[in-house]
Structure 1
Amino acid sequence: MGMSKLNVWVSGTDDPCSISDRTWYVTIFDCDGHVLQWCGKKYVVMPAPCGHLEVEVPPGCYYIKAVWSFWLPLGPKVIYRVNHFTDAAIVQACCEQHVCVKLFNPSIHRCGEIVVRAIKDLVLQKAIKPQQAAQVEKAMNEALAGIEKPKKAFELAISDAEIEKLVKAQER
């Protein structure tokens, strides 16, 4: 049995089809959410200069994500302060294969929109009160109001009405 070679790429800001030109730090997790450790190596915060990391891993299924900066204080306790992070990807790494993975670098607007949509779903599930959801949505909208929106509108293009149509179409 041979190793699998992962090529991890990180998209550029505001351009999901590009490749970032900054250094990212990639971590590979097993399917139980633990940092992959194998043969004395920890696959944690591995530098990916210019948005690229090539690394050999044993065959398996992995959860991969990256951050672009972090802070490690000296001392017995390690604390990460993440400034920006990618979406995650799941990859099946097979023996003797090269596998490419592209990690999407989302805008803060997309992240905020996902939180607001999740909160609205909790209201529909009666897990939280509508007033709580309204407070979260108001706070998120205020926080994002002064931040430039992504140049490529696809990140924010699906409206609640469009999602509702898709859900209703599936119910038929």
Structure 2
Amino acid sequence: MGYAILNIWVRNEKCEVVDRRAHLHIYNCQGTQVLPTTWFGGGHTEVKVPPGCYIITAGVIYGNVYTDKTMVVVGCDEKACVNLVLNRFREQEAKKNVPMIARGCGARIIPPLALHALKAEIEPDELQRALDVIMKAAGMDRREMLAGVDSEIKALEQNMQLFEETELKEVKRYLKSLQLLRGQIG
């Protein structure tokens, strides 16, 4: 007996694949996220999950528009195709005076930038000024940013057993960097 495979597609109401980057969210039927949020592109991703019942949605960039939620039930060693419908999809250009990192994207943009800054040994006060500017542009305060980083740390810690052995070293390094970032923000 083993894991199930979910082939997940994001489509518009015309059944066309939406070729955009998106972030995937997989929940159990009690509403608890069971895998860390992951990014994917090209309208498709494949994930490995334990047998069970899941509620799946994805947020697509350009305003963080979310697909409808879809339920899927899979058993051991089964494969399932999941089509997520982005029912409000429309081609749109960036709107003036709307920050690209508004509505939740700041929590996704700041950690990777700050982690790269820490690796590059940028001085803490310089990094702090940059974080302050980005948070101000995103309309976020420190409490909101800390909540985003804490959520990412918690999701990783709770799901370490789901990573492949070959991924664990990198995941642990990322987790340590997030903890350093948390100290920098706090």
Larger Rg: 1
Q: Which has the higher helix share?
A: 2
Question: Normalization by structure 2: what TM-score?
Answer: 0.45
- Structure number with greater CO (CA < 8 Å, separation at least 6) is 1
Question: Normalization by structure 1: what TM-score?
Answer: 0.48
